Chain A
Amino acid sequence: MSSLLIILLGSVLVSYFALTTPGMVQPFASDDVFDGAVGIASATAIGLTLLSPLSWLVDRLALRPLHMDFLAPTIFVMLAVLMALCLEAAFRHQTHWLPMRLGFTMLLTTQGALLGVMLQSRLRSDTLLQAVLAGAGAGIGFAALLLAFASLQQRQRAAEVPASFQLAPIALITIGIMALALMGLTGLVRE
């Protein structure tokens, strides 16, 4: 459970820093950042929901019968790339969602790959339905955390955070407290 959490929060942090250019105060760009977060959150949620059963199928139908379990991580990464590209193409016309950054596809890919591999290794899904649920769960969890974090940061802009703690440090502390809160869920999921 806690390793799941750490990976989820880690991806939230990475996504957020990818959205805001680190080291800058952005008083006027709030909506861009939040819209970007909505874009990444929804893309990741949809992507994981699809990726998880897809990789389950590949695993059960191709890798295991062929005794190539050792290829699983590599194949999942490739599937994640595929998924990211498809999503990017599908989302392309949602201009207000999709931040037109060069790194967007790459971020989505890494996100998908990382979370996808994590799901595979951590939550051993026995059925296709379980795989779908695990993917959707992680995706929605990631989306909720990222959006909550992005709007927390937006609210934080008016706060008189001490100079040396502005931006990245306070963001890290916030993520830390969020992790602390989520520690309360330990024991709910047996790994």
Chain B
Amino acid sequence: MIVAILVMIAIGTVLAAVLASSSSTAQRQQLLTERINERLPQTQCGRCTFTGCKPYAAAVARGEADINQCPPGGDATAKALADLLGRPPKPVDPRFGAVLPRPLVAWIDEPACIGCTKCIQACPVDAIVGASKFMHTVITAQCTGCELCVAPCPVDCIEMRTVTDVALS
């Protein structure tokens, strides 16, 4: 009887030790963040209220953000996250922005540009080139359509257009 109790206690102790050492939540969260980030559209628009896709992924991994805060990814992304995390799927919350059927890219009305570089600083993926006092332009292929460059422009010369419109102009 006493031996039995001792054996149980011994096993219990070993288990507790293993449990304590294995449940390193930081590492777990880092991996989960990586897997969530893989499923995000990488627009880096910040509409989810975080500064980019990776910070949002980290917040979801920590349980601080919901899975339906990504309008560029649309319902497909929300669903992919739901599948990953084993939660019921839900549509994108319209508070974070409207889901667009077709991707848009930024377009600079080049004659109007004054070369202030504000948009260059705003672009999260370095897709705008130009130097101070010189005209800027958007590298369409690299533009994710995050719209972050539109607001900072002092002369309102940036607008969002469809890829085909940009190609034609």
Contact = CB atoms under 8 A, between A and B. Distances in A.
The answer to whether A and B interact is: yes
Interface string A93-133: 00100011111000000000000000000000000000000
B80 A29 contact: yes
Contacts of A28: 76, 79-80, 83
Interface residues of A, number: 26
Contacts of A89: 22
B54 interface: no
Given A29-B79, A95-B34, 11 more contacts: A21-B82, A21-B83, A28-B79, A28-B83, A29-B83, A71-B7, A71-B8, A78-B15, A92-B27, A100-B84, A103-B86
B11 A66 contact: no
Q: Which 9 A-B pairs have the closest CB atoms?
A: A29-B83, A100-B32, A89-B22, A85-B22, A101-B86, A68-B4, A78-B11, A85-B18, A21-B86
A80 to B, nearest CB: 11
A8 interface: no
A68 B8 CA distance: 11
A173 interface: no
Contacts of B88: 21, 24
Interface in A15-46: 21, 24, 26, 28-29, 32
A86 B80 contact: no
B130 to A, nearest CB: 39
26 contacts: A21-B82, A21-B87, A21-B88, A24-B88, A24-B89, A26-B83, A28-B76, A28-B79, A28-B80, A32-B83, A32-B84, A62-B7, A66-B3, A66-B7, A68-B3, A74-B8, A75-B7, A78-B15, A82-B15, A85-B19, A92-B28, A95-B31, A95-B34, A100-B28, A100-B84, A100-B85
A92 B15 contact: no
Interface residues of B, number: 28
B14 interface: yes
Interface in B59-118: 76, 79-80, 82-89
A95 B18 contact: no
Given A24-B88, A82-B14, A95 B80 contact: no
Nearest to B89: A24
A103 B18 CA distance: 18
Nearest to B18: A85
Contacts of B87: 21
Contacts of A82: 14-15, 18
B80 A81 contact: no
B161 interface: no
A21 B35 CA distance: 18
Interface string B1-38: 00110011001101100110010000110011011000
